Amino acid sequence: MKKMVFSLIAIIGLFGTSLNAQMNMENYKSVAIISVDANGIDLDNVAMANLIRFELEKAQKFEVLDKYDVESKMKERQINPNEAFGKSALIDVGKKINADYMLTGSVQKYGSKIIFILRLVDVQKGRISKSDVKEYIYDEEYLQLMARVSLASLLDLPVDEELKAKLTNVDIPVITEGQTLRLNGPRFGMQHFSGDLARRLEAPESEGGYASNAFSTVFAYQHEVQYVSSGKFQALLEIIPAINGIETKYVSPSLTLLNGFRYAGWELGFGPVFRFNRTATGYYDLEGKWQMGDVPDDLLPYGVESQLNIDKRGDLGLTTGLIVAVGKTFRSGHINFPVNIYYSQVPTFDSQVVGIMLGFNIARSRK
C-alpha cells in the first residue's frame, strides 16, 4: 500500500513539473531580431544582431524566433533588414512574421567610447516597451560582454556589477582582464649603500672618495617586454637604464634586467644589474686609509690585503650584481603610480644596496 502511495505521489510530481514547464513555455513571449545598426566597428548590422540574439537566447527570457525562419519570412515578404530600424517599420515587420516583440538598437563608436542602445518594441501595443542606453570603453574585443550587460539592464536581469563597472567606466580607464597593464615610464628614487661602497662614498676626495654619504639618487626609465599575459597575471622582462649619484658630480650609470611577475597590481622581479664605476686596485693601510696601487700581497703589512674598490681616480669598469624587487601599482584617475622596493648584492665590493623607486605613467588600453 505504501509503495502505491509513493508511486502515485511521484507520478503527480512529475506531471506537475512537466505541466509547469509547458505553461512557462507557453507564457514566453516571442521576440525577433532582424538587424542592429552598427557604425564605426568591425561587425556589420547582421553580425551584431546575431551576437545580441545569442546573448538573448542565453537569458531564456523570451522565445527567440529562429533567425533562419525570420530570414525566410522576410524574403517572402521582400523586407530588407537594413532598412527596418524605425518603430513603425519594426511593428509592421513584427506583425508579418508573428512576433510579440521586436528587439533593435544601434552600436556605434563615438570618440573613445562605444554607445550601445537597445530598444524592445511591443508589436501588439504598437509602442516601445523598454529602452537602454550605455556608454562603454572602446574595446571591440568586449562587444559580447557589452551586449550581455545591456540586455541584462534592458530585461531587468541580474548583472555582474564588477564587470559592468569595468566596461562602463569611460571617464576613468580601468584595466580589464583582457587588457595589458603597461608601466613603461620614468622612475626616480633613493638608494642606501652598506659595506665598502658606503665607506668609499664617504671617503674624502684626496683618498679617491666622493666626499658624499651612503645615500644616492636614482633617475631611470623602465621599458617592459611582456611575454605572457593571461587575465590579471603577466610575465615580463623589465629593462631599466639608470643614472645614479648625480649629486656627487661623478654619475654612475647602470642597467638592470628583471624577470618580473605581476598579478592584480602586485609585482615581483629579480635579475642581474650591471653597474659602470671607476674602480682601482688598492688597500687599506693600518690607519684605515685607502691607498691606491697594485701592491703585491707579500709587500703589504700583515693582515692587509689588496682589493678592487671604487675610486674616482681609477678606470671605468663594469661590475655585476643580483637585484630582487617587490612592488605595488596604485591608480588615481588616468595615472598609474608604481612603487618598488629593491635589494641588491654587490659581491665585487662585498656590499649591499637597498632602495625605493617611484614612477608614473598613463593608463592605456591594449588595441
Task: Write the pLDDT tens digit of every residue in 224-264.
Answer: 888 887 767 889 999 999 999 888 777 889 999 999 998 88
> CATH assignment of 2-168?
3.40.50.10610
Q: How much is the average pLDDT of 349-363?
A: 87
Q: How much is the average pLDDT of 176-187?
A: 66
Decide if pLDDT at 7 tops 80. Answer: no
Residue 58's pLDDT band (boundaries 50, 70, 90)? Answer: confident
Q: How far apart are CA 314 and CA 302, in angstroms?
A: 25
Task: Write the pLDDT tens digit of every residue in 102-146.
Answer: 888 899 998 888 999 999 999 888 888 889 999 988 888 888 899
Contact 280, 326 (CB under 8 A): no
pLDDT of 274 reads 94
Which residues of the chain does CATH 2.40.160 include? 185-362
Indicate the range of 11-15, 55-59, 204-208 predicted with least confidence. 11-15
pLDDT of 110 reads 87
User: Could you confirm whether domain 185-362 is CATH 2.30.30?
Assistant: no
Decide if pLDDT at 365 tops 60. Answer: no
Rg (CA), the chain: 35
Decide if pLDDT at 26 tops 50. Answer: no
Q: Who has greater pLDDT, 3 or 223?
A: 223
pLDDT of 12 reads 47
Percent of the chain predicted with pLDDT > 70: 84
Residue 67's pLDDT band (boundaries 50, 70, 90)? Answer: confident
Which residues of the chain does CATH 3.40.50.10610 include? 2-168
Q: How much is the average pLDDT of 292-299?
A: 82
| Mean pLDDT estimate for the chain | 81
Joined together, the cell numbers standing for residue 102 give: 521586436
Q: How far apart are CA 316 and CA 255, in angstroms?
A: 15
Per DSSP, which regions of the chain are E strands? 30-32, 37-39, 63-64, 101-110, 113-122, 127-137, 185-194, 215-230, 233-244, 252-263, 266-284, 290-292, 307-310, 315-332, 335-346, 351-359, 361-362
Pairing between strand 335-346 and 315-332?
Answer: antiparallel
pLDDT of 4 reads 53
Decide if pLDDT at 308 tops 90. Answer: no
Residue 334's pLDDT band (boundaries 50, 70, 90)? Answer: low
